Structure formats: structure tokens, C-alpha cells
Structure 1
Amino acid sequence: MYPNWLAQRVKMTPNRKALTFGQQSWTFQQLFDEVLEVAGSLKTFGVENGDRIAILSPSKPALIVTIHACWQLGCEVVLLNERLSDGELSYQIDDAQPTLLLVDGGYEERVAIHSPVTMNVLKEKTSVKFEIEDEWPLERTMSIMYTSGTTGNPKGVRQTVQNHTTNATASAFNMGVQSDDVWLCTMPVFHISGLSIFIRSVLYGMEVRLYSKFDLSQVVDDLVNGEVTRMSVVSVMLERILRELEDRDVSVSPRLLTMLVGGGPVPSNYLERAIARGIPILQTYGMTETSSQTATLAPEDAVRKLGSSGKPLYLSFIKIDQATNPFEEGEICIRGGHVTPGYIGRNASTASQVNGWLHTGDIGYFDDEGYLYVVDRRSDLIISGGENIYPAEVENAILQHPMIREAGVCGMSDEKWGQVPAAFIVGDEALSLESLQAFLQDKLAAYKMPKVLYHVKVMPRNASNKLLRRELRAWLTSESKA
């Protein structure tokens, strides 16, 4: 058993600042008071321990309060990505089968067929008393996040008390914890990179400075003025921060201790520019199935091992499948208390581990000192602005078009987003990119939309008739696209 996260934190440091949003701030005691009020309101809907509650909301204080309220009632929380199309949201809601669907005002029409309850309606309910649990079982599922599989079907990943606590603890062992730490959160809370910050906040007794969206000017102000000590970014965000710092010809405050960079490989040029501006970059490697980090470069190695994702965190184990020597590449496999026990819904029978190991599908190697280098975030995966896009998912949507017989999707380089999807089709007649995008509008999120379209006579396939996406990538760089 582990302590009730927020209740335990309130016992320890009730008056320490927990959350800042704009001009508002909350201590842990004030946050807990609001959480109990909302939890009491949820009880009036008949919510019970073990129920599953889905939430669709932008990153804002009400979302944080609602998540904690669900946890105080012993509920599983399904965090829905507001950037998804209506069709994608419906798939996930149908798959999760939540007891209750809570939405921020303005989102109810998008999921109307699922009978949502707005957070405003929840506030109007009279709060009732309930018994607070002092301890939580390690195996309890706290959160569920959907991640696309290589088949293109999204999978609901379970994240337990043990998963989250192990991850936050291992992260603290690696980075250290300061009494005046403030973590700047511009990552979406519906992503593990965002949610994990708030879990660290409660376990560490740390303030979080929350933004609903990535506000470049304000973020750089905070970094330069010393308002924060930690931040999590993806490569595209890092590059924008660097450009703004360079335009202003300023460096970040020495109070900034850590900038974690994940979501895909970081160009060496970014890392060198970050060092020049005083940014203590730590590359990290993790995923939804590991409740965030599983390897992170230690601060003292940031310059010496530029480009590495570091060593496995203290409570994590990593091996390179079928590799026996340093620098041999293979599939990255992970074991530890932070690895998900499994999935829900249609994928409930899919094993998350094989003989105790999570097979990531990512390719990497260890150097001769045991530092991990990630070669490719899965051979076919497209990472656009930190968002994972699986080609099979986009292909499946394209193939719903009546005039398209075959489809292939791969990533193409993009100056702003890192990568964007490029589509190749075999069709009965010519089709414009604009008409294809219009067809896909209710099937795919905007960031998953193909940005270029090529008509080809035949798709590259192997002897088993499997699509060779590496050939598609080669076509992009050749003069002929067919």
C-alpha cells in the first residue's frame, strides 16, 4: 500500500504553494479543499470506488482539481486528447466504457452522443461527505491514456499507483529535489509528460506553474527571469525557445536546473545552441507505457554525452534485445515497477510484457559506458511536434475513401514540426490533397493529416506483400516519386 498522494502531502506541507495559473495560486491545503468539494459533487452522480471517469478538457486548474477528485473517490481517470477528431474521441470513449464522461464547457457538442456532463454542471451540485482513503493499493489503476499501436488501433494504457510512484521516485533520484522547485508545465495534461509533472508535484511538495498552451514569449520571460527551476519540452518547443533567446540575445536564469527534452531524437545543433544559452538540457527517453521517463541523462553528463538519453533510472532496467556488445543496435526492452500491467477495452487481452519485459519497438544501443542512445523511435513512427503518428492509423483512414485502393504513409522532414505525414496512394482517378484532407477531417486529428500527396502506380512491397515504408522515404528524397 502507498499513502493517498494528496492527503499525505497536505499532512506534510499544507501551506506550501502547489499550483500557479496566471495570477491565481493555490497551496496544497487550498487545492485539497477544492478537490474534496468536487469529489463530493461527483458522489451525487452515483460515482463509486473503482468506477472509470473520462475527462475531456484543456489544461487548466479545473482539470487538475477534477483529476484529484476522481482519485480521492478511488476512480480510474481516462484522459482524452482534445486535439483528436470527433470520430477518434468516440472510438476511445466507446472503448473505455466510462461510468461518467466529464467535459469542459464548449466540448459537449463534440461528444454529445455519449451524454457528457459539463464541469459547470458538476460545480452546481451540492457536495456530500465521503470517507477519504488513507492508503491506496499499488496495483490500482489511476490513469488511462490512449496511445496508437503499430496496427493503427489506439490502445488504452493502464497507469497504476506503483507505475506513477516508481517513475516519480526514480526521477527524483536522478535530478534531485529542491525545496523551492517550480516546474513550468506547458505540456498537455492529457499526455503523460504533462500528468507526470502534477504527480511529481504532490510527491515532491513542488509548485507547478501551469499554462493552457505554449506561450513562447511568456515562457521565455519565465526562463530568463528565474521564475522556474524545471521544464519539460519536445524538440520543436526547444527550437522555438532557442530562437527567441537568440533574437533577444539573452540567456536563461541560472535558477533553471533542468530542461527535460523527450518526444523523439534531439538534433545536436539544438543541444549545442542550448548550452550556449545556459539551458541545462537533459535528454530523456520514455513513453506512455512507462508513465514517462525510463532513462535520463544525469546533469553531470549533459555535455560529455551530448545526444545520449542517459542511463536507466535507478528503479528501471533496460536491455537491447539480441545485442551482446556495446554499440550493437537492437530493440529497446524495459522492465521495472513503472511499466504498465496492461491495456483496457479491445486490447485488454494484449500482453504489455513478454517474460517481464516491455518490447518498445524502438531501436537503440548502449555505448561502452552503458549510456543509452535511441537510434529511431520505431522505424515507421512519425513524431510531429512531440506527437506520435503511426502510419498505419493514417493509412487505415485514407483507405476508407472509395476511390483509393492502396495507401502508404511515411514521415517527411519539416522545419517547424520536425516531421509531417506524406501520403502515397494508388487510386482509380486523380485526387487532390485538399479533397483528401476534407475527407479525413472527421477521421483524423489535424496534426495527423497528410501534408503532401503523391499518386503512384504500385506500392513497394516485399515477398510477403508487406508495405516497405523505407522505400517510401527513399522516394521522398529521390527525383522520381514512383
Structure 2
Amino acid sequence: MEPLAARTIPDLVRAGAVHFRDREAIVDGAVRLTYAQLGEEVNRFAAALAARGVGKGDRVALWAPNSWRWIVAALGIVTAGGVLVPLNTRFKGAEAGYILRRGGARLLLVEDGFLGNRYVESLTAAAETHESGTSDLPDIVTFDQWEEFVGGGAASGGAAGPDVTVTPDDLSDLFFTSGTTGQPKGAMLTHRQSTELYVTWSALAGLVEGDRYLLVNPCFNTFGYKAGVIACLLRGATVVPQAVFDVRETLEVVQRERITVLPGPPTLYTSMLDHPDRTRFDLSSLRVAVTGATTVPVVMIERLRDELKLRTVLTAYGLTESCGTATMCRPDDDPHTVATTCGTALPGVEVRVDGHTGEVLVRGYNVMRGYFEDPRATADAIDADGWLHTGDVGVLDERGYLRITDRLKDMFIVGGFNAYPAEIEQVLARHPAVAEVAVVGTPDERLGEVARAFVVTRGPADPGELTAYCKERLANYKVPREFVFVPELPRNASGKVLKTTLRSR
């Protein structure tokens, strides 16, 4: 079987080990794994999981930054028949604990201490105070225990991997995404969706065997994992994971590893283009950029083509519930089209807009199977005709190109990360000085948008104290950058807060 024909991720790993055998699969600092070696590492890890009791359909959470270990662990989970549940590295204990409980995770794999974050300690503290809704925690294995853990599976057939049958329509992962309620929900996606969609994506992006792909987009995000790891495995490209985006380090890695493909949010490219030492680095290997997630300046697209000489610069649109992608520009689209639209629907995917300008609906093989153990939320998201209601507002031009103009939901995007006002509001509402609060996204030159909180207080309130309070309980990108104290929140006749009014301020 050729990798492009594989419709399960374990089959994809096995096919790559044969088809791209001696080609580099992953380069992570001093660690360099060929496709054959990757296959061996994945089998060893899957065997260790099986020895730990992980079986078909069991959910296994992964809380770690981009690295060769993240990739091996993720691929090992699904090879063991499990379901991958990624956790955002910026989460605090209560946020992670909620997802572990909601997803019914049997095991948590964690790189404890990343950027000074004591994840296990934070998780344990949240469990002890019931902040995450339960005191129960899953079995935990830290990356410090990697060799010991993998060694434990050696007696269980580590070379061949566990004896389990995985089919294309089995669940491969649960990526949790929040709604307007602020409560994360697990989007159920299958092996077939994860492989078939990114055959198309990788073809449109022009990804080819031998490409070297700098993976800056976090793997805990659908796009980072599937348009990164899965797409590279399909095409025989080399994944070069970067744990934290640092512009100078990125420039150095592009030069050293001769990176050819670099997807990321617009802030990544503007940071590179505007870096004072950029011209000191040889970036001539770069060929492909794919962006999206927020407003894309036309001048940025032009600069990528003119200054960095990129041959392919594309934008795309998708959401977790659509397996990460629904529309995409084409390689021959002009800079204005690339910057002002998200492209057209991928083959096999339909995109519709209710009215001339209205909610964007998506239907096709890429739409999730539903939210995990949440039929009510599933019915709210996917109608009887199979249309996924995205909550985004847009318009389709005469060519079928989609332009996103607004959001029905309150969600906004901070440097490529989704932020949900209801979740932030729930945290702030627990502060003794806060009587009422409403959070909106506000434009930010560097991050695209950031949170601004409008607060009705019960008495004297200090913005610094509120910031510190949020930082203890929320990932940093969710923390409001500004607190505006108001005597009351604007409301309509039915009592609903008028966030459009707040945004206009």
C-alpha cells in the first residue's frame, strides 16, 4: 500500500516505513528519525500502551509541546486502537482536568515542566479543590518516564506493535473545542477523515516527497496535527517540530534545515518579515506558506512573494468540527484573492451561506461525527440535512470563493488560538469584586485580537489584581489585556448584553 492510499493512521505509518524507508521523517534537534525508525518507535510506544491496559476505543490524553515524542506518542495511541485527546500546553489544571473528565481519558501522557509549568501539580491541585469538577485523575505517565514506559511494553511485542484491528471509520481523535457556553466539547473525527482530507490539502499546498516542513502550529490544534504531521506522512516530507515560536530561532532553523514549507498564522510571517536581522539568514529554500485564522493583509501576501520569493502562498478556512479544513485557495490565485478570501470548497465538501451574507454552513465527508457523548450539542451544530452550522458569517462571490465577515458566536482569535468569552466571563464572575462582566475581542496589531473585559464592580477593583486572578486560572492568551469599568452593561429589551455595542467602544 502506498501512503496516499492509506485510510487509517496506523496503515499510513506502516506504509511510510516501507515506501519512504530511509528518508528523514522527523528532525528535532539532535534526534533524527527515518520513516523506518519512526515506524519502529510508534510500534514500541503502542505496545507500551497496550501493556498499560489501553485498548480499542480508549481515550488517551497528550499534554505536551511539539516534539518528536509528541508525534510518536500520538501515532502510538491510534496504533494501539486508542483515541487521541490533545491538551493545550497553555491550559491550567482546571481546564485540563475538565477535558480529562469529559473525555473519559484512561491515561494522560504529559511533558511536565514545559516552560516552567508544573502540569501534574496544577492538575492535582485542581482535582483536590474540585475545580475541574472531579477529584478523579487518570493514570499519568510523564515524558521523564519515557524510556521506562516504553521498556515496559517490550515483552508485549514491541517490535510488531499490539494485535489490534483499526478500521477507517473508527475514531482517531477527540479535539475539544468550546462553544458559546464556554464548555469544551469533543469533536469526534475518524481515521478516514484525517487521511482523505489531507491528501487533498497536501496536493493543493504542493507538498511533495523530500519537503522539509517546519511545524510551528501546535500539534494540540487540529490544523497543526493534521495539516502538519498527517500531511507530511502522506507525502514523505520531513517534520521539523518547533516547541515555541521564537522568530530568531525560526529564521535559524529555516536556514539550517533548509525548510521548504512553513504554514502558520499571519503573525508568524509578519514577525519574520519585520525582524531586523532577517536579511542575514538564507531563507531561499522556502517555497510554500499556508495561513488563515484571522484577517490577512494583502501587503503581507505580496511581501512573502516579493521579498521571500515564495512560489505558493495560500489561505484556507476550517474549524475543528470540519477536520480543520473546508475551503482553500488555489496555487494560481492572485494576492488579493488569497488575502481577502479563504478560497473555495475542497472537492467532496459543500459550502453554503444562508442569504447573501449569512451563516456559513459546511457539509461533506470532513464534518465530524458529532460531539462526544453530547447529542444535544451535536443536534445544535449539525442539522437534519447534514449541514454543519459554523457560527461564522460570510459571503460567497460569483466564483464560489468564501470571505468570512463576522462571527455569530462570540469567539475571537488571539494569535491563532480560539478564545471564548463565556469561559473567561465565568472565571471573572467568581472574583469577589466583580458583579457583572462581558468579554469581547478587540483588534491588536500583533495578535490579531485580544480580550477586553467590561466589568461592573461591587466596589473598588484593581486591574492588576484581576489580571493576576485570570492568569492563575486561564491560559495566557485568554487573559484580558484591558479591563474597562462601567456602571452597567448595555442590554436589549430581553436583557441580553449587547456585545456589538461593547465592541464599538
Normalising by structure 2, what TM-score? 0.87
The answer on 1:60 being equivalent to 2:84 is no
CA–CA distance in 2 between the matches of 1:272 and 1:379?
31
Residues 331 and 38 (structure 1), Cα distance of their counterparts in 2 relative to 1, 3 Å cut: same
The answer on 1:337 being equivalent to 2:349 is no
Aligned partner of 2:239: which letter? V
Corresponding residue of 1:126? 152
CA–CA distance in 2 between the matches of 1:399 and 1:101?
30
Corresponding residue of 1:469? 499
Residues 345 and 72 (structure 1), Cα distance of their counterparts in 2 relative to 1, 3 Å cut: same
SS of the residue aligned with 1:78? strand
| Aligned-residue offset at 1:252 | 7.3
Corresponding residue of 1:311? 344
Residues 215 and 451 (structure 1), Cα distance of their counterparts in 2 relative to 1, 3 Å cut: closer
Residues 251 and 267 (structure 1), Cα distance of their counterparts in 2 relative to 1, 3 Å cut: farther
Alignment of 1:38-437 (within 5 A): 38-106=45-113, 107-112=119-124, 113=127, 114=137, 115-124=139-148, 125-127=151-153, 128-129=156-157, 136-196=166-226, 197-223=228-254, 227-244=258-275, 248-249=278-279, 253=283, 255-277=285-307, 278-279=309-310, 280-303=312-335, 305=337, 306-321=339-354, 323=355, 328-345=356-373, 350-351=378-379, 352-354=381-383, 355-378=385-408, 380-437=410-467
Moved more, 106-115 or 83-92: 106-115
Q: Is the 8 A contact 1:42 1:122 kept in 2?
A: no
CA–CA distance in 2 between the matches of 1:250 and 1:150?
46
| Aligned-residue offset at 1:215 | 2.8
| Aligned-residue offset at 1:200 | 1.1
Write out per-residue CA displacement over residues 300-344 of structure 1, whole angstroms, 9 at most, x where no aligned residue.
0042524221111123211112x2xxxx21111111111111112
Aligned partner of 1:313: which letter? L
| Aligned-residue offset at 1:70 | 1.0
Aligned partner of 1:356: which letter? G
The answer on 1:438 being equivalent to 2:491 is no
Write out per-residue CA displacement over residues 79-102 of structure 1, whole angstroms, 9 at most, x where no aligned residue.
011101221111111111111112
Write out per-residue CA displacement over residues 398-434 of structure 1, whole angstroms, 9 at most, x where no aligned residue.
1122332211111122222121111111121121111
**What percent identity do the matched residue pairs reach?**
30
Q: Is the 8 A contact 2:43 2:161 kept in 1?
A: no
CA–CA distance in 1 between the matches of 2:487 and 2:347?
52
Corresponding residue of 2:3? none
Q: Is the 8 A contact 1:226 1:254 kept in 2?
A: no
Write out per-residue CA displacement over residues 138-189 of structure 1, whole angstroms, 9 at most, x where no aligned residue.
2211111111111211111122112212320221342334222221101111
Q: Is the 8 A contact 1:174 1:313 kept in 2?
A: no
The gaps in structure 2 that reach 5 residues or longer are 1-5, 114-118, 128-136
RMSD over aligned Cα, in angstroms? 2.3
Q: Is the 8 A contact 1:2 1:135 kept in 2?
A: no
| Aligned-residue offset at 1:254 | 5.3
Q: Is the 8 A contact 1:398 1:404 kept in 2?
A: yes
Aligned residues: 469
Residues 177 and 413 (structure 1), Cα distance of their counterparts in 2 relative to 1, 3 Å cut: closer
Aligned partner of 2:263: which letter? S
SS of the residue aligned with 1:58? coil
Normalising by structure 1, what TM-score? 0.91
SS of the residue aligned with 2:378? coil
Aligned partner of 2:365: which letter? G
CA–CA distance in 2 between the matches of 1:101 and 1:348?
28
Moved more, 436-445 or 258-267: 436-445
CA–CA distance in 1 between the matches of 2:143 and 2:241?
19
| Aligned-residue offset at 1:122 | 4.7
SS of the residue aligned with 1:411? strand
Residues 198 and 447 (structure 1), Cα distance of their counterparts in 2 relative to 1, 3 Å cut: same
| Aligned-residue offset at 1:269 | 3.3
Q: Is the 8 A contact 2:290 2:315 kept in 1?
A: yes
Residues 199 and 273 (structure 1), Cα distance of their counterparts in 2 relative to 1, 3 Å cut: same
CA–CA distance in 2 between the matches of 1:161 and 1:119?
26
Residues 131 and 186 (structure 1), Cα distance of their counterparts in 2 relative to 1, 3 Å cut: closer
Q: Is the 8 A contact 2:24 2:35 kept in 1?
A: yes
SS of the residue aligned with 1:419? strand
| Aligned-residue offset at 1:379 | 5.7
Write out per-residue CA displacement over residues 350-392 of structure 1, whole angstroms, 9 at most, x where no aligned residue.
3341121111011111112221111124463221111111112
CA–CA distance in 1 between the matches of 2:400 and 2:101?
43
CA–CA distance in 2 between the matches of 1:206 and 1:171?
14
Moved more, 158-167 or 212-221: 212-221
Aligned partner of 2:265: which letter? V
Write out per-residue CA displacement over residues 97-148 of structure 1, whole angstroms, 9 at most, x where no aligned residue.
1111121243322223525222333531422116656963222111111111
| Aligned-residue offset at 1:65 | 0.8
Q: Is the 8 A contact 1:170 1:315 kept in 2?
A: no
